[in-house]
Amino acid sequence: MSSLYEYRIEKDHIREHLNKYTKKAFSLLPKYQTPIILDIGCGTGVATVELAKLSKGHITGIDIDETSLNILQRKIKEKGLENQISIIKDSILTLDFPEESFDIIWAEGSLFVLGYENSLKKWRRFLKPNGFLVTHDENRDISKKLEVISKYGFTYISHFLILDRLWWIEYYIPLERLIQEFQSKYPNDPELRNELQRDLIEIDNCKSKTVVCSSFFAVLQKI
């Protein structure tokens, strides 16, 4: 196991502290028997695995990062989720599926790739009639974002905030400790060092208020 692989697995354990918000967002949806879900930008699959538990349906996870998908594949095997989770290595930029393929599209932290409005515009056709799009995005211009959803064929169901202090307590403080641990444990691994540096920059930006650290979940329905 590479040090980068090990770091991402340990980082996932911290990220799992936020699964309660994934669960809260899922609870805002109507009851499905076995929904077909597309998880866009699934990464190492923290939310993907949680969705499999919550939904009892089938989840297709999409991501471009091979290391992250390898970690998700390992989780699928360890947890016996081979019949519930499928993985596709693909870019969000070139994402394509037959129209009306999914009951739910789940997008945690992936709307920035296309932008909020472009994401709604391009992903809507993948949803079945009256299907749902669940987004998790930075807490910026929420009112403007929610105002435009009807323009792209959605109606608003609900939303809620995750405040920056919760991000600090539940994610960034333990992540900072983990980074320090891996800096000491693997001081000479350039690939790991680059990843640790990226995460440190994210933490520093939040500390300095350079970026928005709070976020919001929104549940939208296709009309």
pTM of the model: 0.94
**Domain 20-163+216-222: CATH architecture, name and number where available:** 3-Layer(aba) Sandwich (3.40)
- At 152 the three-state DSSP class reads helix
The answer to whether the CB of 12 falls within 8 A of the CB of 71 is yes
pLDDT digits (tens), the chain, 223 positions: 799 999 999 999 999 999 999 999 999 999 999 999 999 999 999 999 999 999 999 999 999 999 999 999 999 999 999 999 999 999 999 999 999 999 999 999 999 999 999 999 999 999 999 999 999 999 989 999 999 999 999 999 999 999 999 999 999 999 999 999 999 999 999 999 999 999 999 999 988 877 778 999 999 999 9
Q: Where are the domains of the chain?
A: 20-163+216-222
Q: What is the DSSP string of 24-50?
A: HHHHTSPP-SS-EEEEET-TT-HHHHH
Contact between 50 and 81 under an 8 Å Cβ cutoff? The reply is: no
